Amino acid sequence: MGKSIKIVKVLAAAGVGSFFFDDQAAIKAGAERDGAAYQGTAVTPGYAAVREPSESVSVMLVLSDGYVAMGDCASVQYSGVGGREPRFHAAQLARQIEEDLAPRLLDLDVSRFREAAARAEGWIGVSVEAQRAAAYGVSQALLDAAAHVAGHHLMARVIKDEWALAAPLAEVPIYAQSGDDRHANVDKMILKSVPILPHGLINTLELVGPEGAELERYIRWIVARIKQLRTRPDYRPRIHLDVYGMVGALVQGSPDRTADILQRLEAAAGAFPLTIEHPLDAGNRDAQIEALARLRQVLRARRSQVRIVADEWANTAEDIGLFAAAQAADLIQVKTPDLGSLHHTIDAILDCHRHGVGPVLGGTCAETDLSARATVHIGIATQVAQMLAKPGMGFDEGYTIVQNEMNRALRLDAHLAQTKK
């Protein structure tokens, strides 16, 4: 790359996320929904209320040539549970970044992202409390910086080059999430021909219903709306539902009985392929791997084509590697803020590929446009199985951010390739 560009100033600005931080433990314990709020008492450390506005911190790296590289620190909606880092408070994190981390980052050469991210992560470990959130934002800024130094401003090309990925940058399917608006947002997704839909936020037993009856009814409704609203006959989206372990909870965690319900849902989906995310929750990582592997074996023995996604308890690159090696799922959610520095997300995705498991490049509704755009570049460089439309729960905004960033990056990449020729 030739040029030695270094960090000369680090700035941090407290900001907001696109949704909320929710105390999942309190919700599962019975906190009642009240419009957009929850009534009840928080039980998870770090929360003053069951639902609090999500927060972010923008990290700005002023470089020696005057360029300002940026990234956003963020955390997931359900912070502080399932082995995840506690929710952070933006003002405190911004202060720690400027006062404690910044002196360590000064004079760091940003020309090689992978090396700079690993060094920064080490300094973050002794500088701030919300280490994964901080590493997430700082690493985005470092990836932006490396793309600037390279001269092409394409973060995806930095990833492709530094990890020696042979495949060209290419479009990947977008996976949309509906939030609580499970009907109007599905209509929007169909009208916009989204390839994978709708997530559904199936986070209560009532939404599943006895033996899965309510969820079956919802799937039949989705199928009917696809047939009614699609603008071309070949539009055949995959139906992907995140059930937050509720199917398993309905049958006391039994993989066999969970499989019974999933097959019922598969029948309801008919000609449309079905994916179920986090079908059951076994309570810890090793038990989750064992339970999901058993569920997958049962489904395959019955010749079911339902695909299952591991989500909870796959929080780090190490966790994801263990799920993938055990063949515990067809796909694994790589929830980007949980992994901290972006180089761990890239490594986790490539680990999934090595084991023949589909990586789902996820994240959270609670992050920002800047973090979403950065992770798009990971998706098109590493060829993930699908990529979440984020942030927010309104569908249109997150879909616009992710789809447009992917289109821009691929068009610029094609232009650069043609110019080189």
Point out the residues that are catalytic: 335
CA atoms within 13 A on the CB side of 235: 19
Which of 289, 283, 325 has its CA nearest to residue 310?
289
CB 16 within 8 A of CB 55: yes
Which of 286, 264, 287 has its CA nearest to residue 274?
264
Q: From residue 404, give the alpha-carbon distance in Å to each of 12, 66, 112, 328, 356.
A: 27, 27, 27, 33, 29
State the amino acid at position 160 in one-letter form: K
Q: Where on the phi/psi map is residue 151: left (φ > 0), alpha (ψ -120 to 50), or beta?
A: left
CB 368 within 8 A of CB 18: yes
Determine what percent of the chain falls in helix, strand and coil, rounding each to the nearest 5.
45, 15, 35
Q: How many whole angstroms separate alpha carbon 59 and alpha carbon 37?
A: 30
Q: How many whole angstroms separate alpha carbon 77 and alpha carbon 38?
A: 14
Which of 99, 97, 104 has its CA nearest to residue 57?
97
Q: Strands 68-73 and 51-63, how do they pair?
A: antiparallel
Query: What would you report as the CA-atom Rg of the chain, rounded to the nearest whole angstrom?
Result: 21
Q: Where on the phi/psi map is residue 311: left (φ > 0), alpha (ψ -120 to 50), or beta?
A: alpha
Which of 396, 241, 392, 414 has its CA nearest to residue 311?
241
Q: How many whole angstroms separate alpha carbon 109 and alpha carbon 3?
A: 10
Location of structure tokens 């796959």:
314
